[in-house]
Chains A and B, each alone.
Chain A
Amino acid sequence: SQQGEEDPQALSIQEGENATMNCSYKTSINNLQWYRQNSGRGLVHLILIRSNEREKHSGRLRVTLDTSKKSSSLLITASRAADTASYFCATLRRGSGGYQKVTFGIGTKLQVIP
């Protein structure tokens, strides 16, 4: 299985509700990032949480990181129709000699119904 697996793979909620997406990974990481991708578009960086952080907020976004469980969650509060998109978590690992690797999960497809 892949580093960075999101759960659920698809989520449909009513506008105004909160949306929670989870991500699990396998190896040690330097940080974990969440991205949004609207249909047919590029990746938009949402938030980065460092491996020594446990929680981070940005507007309506709240990210948690549990390195002991190798998992992260993204909470979008008071969802809007415009939040409809696919959400990916990505882990950054760094090795010796400049090695950097950003690995993505399979994504959660969020639909917010007006």
Chain B
Amino acid sequence: DTAVSQTPKYLVTQMGNDKSIKCEQNLGHDTMYWYKQDSKKFLKIMFSYNNKELIINETVPNRFSPKSPDKAHLNLHINSLELGDSAVYFCASSQGGGHYTEAFFGQGTRLTVV
């Protein structure tokens, strides 16, 4: 069973469109994240939700709106897509935040805006 799954795996869309990426984790974790990996491979945290509440918002444009309907899901909706949004987006989850806490990652969604 896939621990953290995101869909779609690839997304090609035109500028100005609105798109969503979905993420689900079946690990029972209390925290979920979205990361953006740019062309230089830098992984930058965008959002973090703990028990469905927004904990971290790292100065992401408000065109990006995360939604967490329950602890197991954290979806990312992007309005008015721009060329600079092209990147790989990773969803992740973790539990507890203690010394043994490991972050589990999805396989990524490669978004290409044309």
Contact surface of A with B, Cβ cutoff 8 Å: 2, 30-31, 33, 35, 37, 41-43, 45, 48, 50-52, 86, 88, 90, 92-94, 97-104, 106-107, 109
**Residue from B56, B90, B102 whose CB has the most chain A CB atoms within 10 Å:** B102
Do residues B97 and A92 form an inter-chain contact, with CB atoms below 8 A? yes
Contacts of A92 in B (CB 8 A): 94, 97, 101, 103
In the complex the two chains form, is B102's CB within 8 Å of A100's CB? no
* Complex contact A48–B30 (CB within 8 A): no
* A contacts with B: majority SS: strand
Contacts of A102 in B (CB 8 A): 33, 45, 92, 94, 103
Contact of B45 among A41, A86, A101, A106 (CB under 8 A): A101
A88 contacts which chain B residues (CB < 8 A)?
A: 43
Q: A45-B102, A104-B35 are in contact. Are A99 and B41 (CB under 8 A)?
A: no
- Number of A-B residue pairs with CB-CB distance less than 8 Å in the complex they form: 86
Question: Could you list 15 examples of A-B contacts with CB < 8 Å?
Answer: A42-B107, A50-B100, A88-B43, A92-B101, A94-B98, A98-B31, A98-B50, A98-B51, A98-B55, A99-B48, A99-B97, A100-B96, A100-B101, A102-B103, A104-B35
Task: Provide the residues of chain B in CB contact with A45, threshold 8 Å.
Answer: 102-105
B66 sits at the interface (CB 8 A)? no
Closest Cβ of chain B to A60, distance in Å, is 20
A42:B106 contact, CB within 8 angstroms: yes
